[in-house]
Structures are given as C-alpha cells and as structure tokens.
Amino acid sequence: MSVEVSKRFPSRFWAKVLSWPAAACLATVVVGFSALAAGQVMHAAYITRWPTCEKVVVLTFDDGPDPVSTPRTLEILKSRDVPAMFFVSGNRSATIPRINYRAYDEHHIVASHSRSHRNMRGFSADQQIEELYLGEADVVKQLGGDLTGRVRYLRAPAGRISPLALLRIWQDGGVYVAWSSAYDKRTFFEVAPQAERVLKYVESIRPGDVILMHDGSPHAEQTLEDLPLIIDALRDRGYTFVTLDDLRKP
Ligand SMILES: [Zn+2]
C-alpha cells in the first residue's frame, strides 16, 4: 500500500500544481521572465531608434565605400559638421580602403555591413555571424587595427538577422543597428519635385530616429542631391545630429 501511495503521490501533486489556474500562472511567470530577459537583450543589442524626446537623429549610410559617392557624402557632412555612421562591406572596402580611413579620421563611425554583402536569407545564425565578423575584421584591419575601446556596431545586408545571431552579438558585447526611418524607401520612386520630396521626408522624422541612407548604391545620386537640404531642414526644426556613441555615453 505504501508503495502505491508513494507512486500516486507525485501524480496527484503535479496534478494540483499543474491545475489550469496554476499552470496559467506558471506560464505567465515563465513567459514574463523570458520576455524580460529577451527585452533586455534586445534593448542592449538591437537598436532601431533611440528612446528620447530630445530632437536628435543618427545618420547612417550603407553599402559603401564607393569611390565617387562616399567622398562626396563626406564633403557634405564635413561642410555641415555632421557626424554619421558608415556600414561598409569588407570586400568593397578592400578595393578602396583609404576612403574608410578618411571617414574614420573625420570622426565618423565605420562599421561592418558584412564581408560580401550577400543576401543572408536562409543563413544559419553562425553563418550570419561569420559574415558580419569577417566584415568587421576587414574594417579593423583597414583602420590600422585601432578600434580599442570602440563599440562593435554591426548591420546585416537588408537588415536580415536572426534572434540567435542577435544573442551572440549581445554576448560578444556588440550592438546591432537597424533603422527607424528609411530615406531611400520613401523617396526612390517618388516623382515629386525635390523641395516637396525633402519636405515630406523631413516632416516624417521623429526624435531619436536612426536614418538609413545609401552612399554605395545606384540611388546614391539622389541621396547626394537631397542630403544637404535634409540636414539643413532638420537643423531648422531644432534637430542635432549625433552617433550612437554620443547617445550611449553615460
Ligand atoms: Zn546593404
């Protein structure tokens, strides 16, 4: 009999513990803690916009360096004393490394946009990490290996990154940078006159936006035409241009 009771005890115990209300409560706690932990990881390692009411924006440029449009972009930024973040591909950089160094030397942030800029759809987390870190190694090498103390910012081609890869980036102390305002998407195919196009874009900007532009794409010409007007119009509205390094300072 005692054997029978001891055999039945656990099933009764767990039946009570796992009764519907208790199970619901347990599930809520587990999901809550998981969400909290995931939220902390996401907040630390994945940035789409900076949570602020201050009128600050982060300019980011993808797909460079380009031998023509990147130097022109740098000239515009220099003439207006605007800092930016450049997400470059390792392979493109290898052919024109001096442009990355110039951007770095002019106090912009230069970071990895992968080595090959391949479409990473279907890549495993390990493959995504490998592409991003190889690109980072290329950039560090081109900048003289002098990135000590700098944050490891990363951005995948087309923004395709898996949760597991994000977790790995967070564990490695890196920051994945997405965006909250894609200038190109809004304006590539617009036929509106430039002033109207720029006004429409500028009015869409909100405090803390991370703006995505491209200095290394076939659409760079329009970006170069609009960039000075966008900078001036945002400044007229009280915006300040910063990098994530500026925002992350304690
Ligand atoms: Zn890209």
Q: Where are the domains of the chain?
A: 2-41, 48-248
Backbone φ and ψ of 56, nearest 5°: -125, 150
What's the whole-number mean pLDDT along residues 219-243?
95
CA of 123 to the centre of ligand 1 (A): 16
Q: Report the sign of the C-alpha dihedral through residues 175, 171, 104, 136, in that order.
A: negative
Q: Report the sign of the C-alpha dihedral through residues 62, 65, 71, 77, in that order.
A: positive
Q: In whole angstroms, how far apart are CA 201 and each of 61, 180, 239?
A: 16, 13, 14
Q: What is the pLDDT of residues 157-173, one digit of tens each?
A: 999 999 999 999 999 99
Q: What is the pLDDT of residues 179-197, one digit of tens each?
A: 999 998 766 656 788 888 8
pLDDT score recorded for residue 26 = 47
Model confidence at 35, pLDDT cuts 50, 70, 90, reads: very low
CA of 243 to the centre of ligand 1 (A): 19
Q: What is the pLDDT of residues 101-159, one digit of tens each?
A: 999 999 999 999 999 999 898 899 999 999 999 999 999 888 877 666 677 899 999 99
DSSP 209: B
CA of 35 to the centre of ligand 1 (A): 30
CA of 1 to the centre of ligand 1 (A): 71
CA of 84 to the centre of ligand 1 (A): 16
CA of 21 to the centre of ligand 1 (A): 49
CATH annotation of 48-248? 3.20.20.370
Q: Whole-angstrom Cα distance, residue 210 to residue 58?
A: 5
Residue 26 in tokens:
């347990």
Backbone φ and ψ of 199, nearest 5°: -60, -45
Whether pTM exceeds 0.85: no
Residue 89 in tokens:
């591909």
Q: Report the sign of the C-alpha dihedral through residues 67, 137, 107, 46, in that order.
A: positive
Mean model confidence pLDDT for the chain: 84
Q: Which residues contact 56 (CB under 8 A, 6 or more apart)?
A: 50, 207, 208, 239, 240, 241, 242, 246, 247
pLDDT score recorded for residue 187 = 60
CA of 206 to the centre of ligand 1 (A): 23
**Higher pLDDT pick, 35 / 176:** 176
